């Protein structure tokens, strides 16, 4: 249960960072960066969906059409104008953690069918994977915080 609480804490922080940014700033790519606010928001969402599927293979990923836009290694420079709006992303982020918590109830202590190897670190349980997602979201929320300072100068 503690990991679910941490997931919710991270999401509250992320949403707070997004609220600090003007709508027009979501598509600005600051000098020295490869992505923008919209990409980071979408990447947070898509990543948690994918990691939830790794924990619970029967989980129905929401917005699977967003995956090609926001998966690791992508960039807004490769988009063809099909990115979701700020409102769509915010709504998806606001409802995601409740849905994920319900999906993962009772599954975090179990071993996952296909352990994940991330940077030489093997994640074998649902809890380990979800803990990684909390760290991952925090890293991207930190970028959003940096963007808010850079773009609001």
Residue 116's domain comprises: 2-151
**pLDDT-based confidence at residue 153 (cuts at 50, 70, 90):** low
In degrees and rounded to multiples of 5, residue 4 shows phi and psi of: -60, -40
Query: Looking at the 3D structure of the chain, how many domains does it have?
Result: 1
**Separation between Cα atoms, residue 111 and residue 56, nearest integer Å:** 11
Cα-based distances in Å from 3 to 32, 45, 77: 33, 17, 35
**pLDDT-based confidence at residue 81 (cuts at 50, 70, 90):** confident
pLDDT tens per residue across span 96-107: 999 999 999 999
Please report the beta strands in 22-100, taking only residues with DSSP state E, as ranges in sequence order: none
**Separation between Cα atoms, residue 96 and residue 100, nearest integer Å:** 6
Q: What is the CATH number of the domain that holds 138?
A: 1.20.120.450
pLDDT tens per residue across span 23-79: 999 999 999 999 999 999 999 999 999 999 999 999 999 999 999 999 999 999 888
Residues contacting residue 11 through CB under 8 Å, at least 6 positions apart:
93, 96, 97, 137
């Amino acid at each position: 249960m503690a990991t679910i609480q941490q997931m919710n804490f991270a999401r509250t922080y992320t949403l707070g960072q997004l609220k600090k940014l003007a709508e027009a700033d979501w598509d600005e790519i600051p000098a020295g960066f490869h992505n923008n606010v919209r990409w980071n928001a979408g990447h947070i969402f898509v990543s948690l969906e994918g990691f939830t599927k790794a924990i619970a293979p029967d989980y129905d990923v929401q917005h699977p059409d967003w995956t090609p836009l926001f998966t690791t290694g992508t960039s807004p420079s490769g988009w063809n104008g099909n990115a979701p709006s700020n409102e769509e992303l915010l709504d998806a982020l606001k409802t995601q953690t409740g849905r994920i918590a319900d999906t993962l109830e009772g599954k975090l202590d179990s071993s996952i069918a296909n352990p994940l190897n991330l940077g030489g670190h093997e994640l074998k349980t649902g809890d380990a994977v979800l803990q990684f997602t909390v760290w991952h979201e925090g890293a991207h929320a930190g970028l959003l915080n940096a963007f808010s300072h850079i773009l609001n100068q």
